[in-house]
Amino acid sequence: MWLTSRACRSFVAACVVGLGACGAADPQQRDVADVEPADTAPRDTLVAGADAADAVDADGGGPAGDGDAAASDTAVSADTRPIVEPPPGPCPPATPVLVGHVPNARDLGGTPLGDGARVACGQLFRGAPLKNLTAAGCDELARLGVKTVIDLRIDGEVASNPESACVFEQARVIAAPMPIPYSVSAGDYVTDLHATDAILAAFAAFGDPGAYPIYFHCTYGRDRTGILAALVLDLLGATRAQILAEYRLTELAGFGSYPDSLNAALDDLARMGGAAAYLRSLGVTEAALDVLRARRHALPPSEK
């Protein structure tokens, strides 16, 4: 179930310092997040206030093909280009948003980066679908000012659980479907890293200065969302440990995490030269990358 605010703050503080302390859930525990067939409606248990145990398969086994990649402090890539007009900040890392309305939703703002900067606040949000929002939930979404929603689900998932009507009234919704990672394995994560059409659609939005703030999601905001968040954070200059720590914050929602699988994708990303090199190879322009790079907040030395 949802953690108390005090427990949440303690867990977040441990996570952002380093991955090793971010172990509230067994990383080998298998749950159903992001792995249900597209022709089956996702279970109704994964909503605000639902018992996390209901989101776990009965067998409790680890995902097939997770791989044995170990977490590393090695940066996937380190971009040293000048920062372009960073928005104001800073803010606390991993701030929950849409609390009581959308599970596993948080601001990437405040996430530490390798050079001492942080992700700018209120610009990039990740989480679960914006479905079944009440009037209060719609009001909260409006307060966040979200202008663009990137939906990483395939058509069957979208049809089963569409975004709320108020989402379309407020924001442009971009379809960027990635394959469902049924086994949440290393291979599944690497496959989603190479879902080039989806990545190009997402980075077309990230490269548009008028698109922000942006909210991106898959079915439960963990696997496919984690891959896209890893690309974003790597481009912004996060180390591998920082990327993994941010990913594992999903454990707060009771959905578990698969760091070995994400590590495999990060290994593949490093082999390609990091996010910037990979995105350039797909045709994303340097100007578009700089728009996303502007979503950094450079802290003065006294605040680092």
184-217 pLDDT, tens digit per residue, is 999 999 999 999 999 999 999 999 999 999 999 9
The total of other beta-carbon atoms located within 10 Å of residue 64's CB is 13
Q: What is the pLDDT of residue 301?
A: 53
pLDDT: is 266 or 7 the higher one?
Answer: 266
> CA 254, CA 46: separation in Å to the nearest integer?
9
- Count other Cβ atoms within 10 Å, centred on residue 80: 6
- Of all helices (H) and strands (E), which one includes residue 217? strand 214-217
Return the bridge partners of 112, or none. Answer: 118
Start-to-end CA distance of the chain, whole Å, equals: 34
- How far apart, in whole angstroms, are the C-alpha atoms of residue 259 and residue 51? 23
pLDDT of residue 164: 98
- Tokens at 142, concatenated: 């409006």
pLDDT of the residue at 302: 53
Amino acid in the structure at residue 235? L
Residue 123 clears pLDDT 80, i.e. is over it: yes
pTM above 0.85, yes or no: no
CA separation (Å) from 131 to 22, 107, 144, 200? Answer: 29, 18, 16, 25
Give residue-wise pLDDT tens across range 30-89: 333 344 333 333 322 222 323 232 232 322 233 333 333 333 333 333 333 333 344 445
Q: What is the DSSP letter of 106?
A: E
Fold for the domain defined by 85-303: Protein-Tyrosine Phosphatase; Chain A (3.90.190)
With vertex at residue 272, the alpha carbon angle to CA 268 and CA 278, rounded to the nearest 5 degrees, is: 110
**What pLDDT is attached to residue 297?**
84
Compute the distance between CA of residue 85 and CA of residue 297 in angstroms, rounded to an integer: 9
Nearest 5°: the CA angle 92, 296, 80 is 135
Give the pLDDT of residue 162: 98
Cα separation, 156 vs 15, whole angstroms: 34
Residue 300 confidence (pLDDT): 54
Question: Is the model's pLDDT at 5 over the cut of 90?
Answer: no
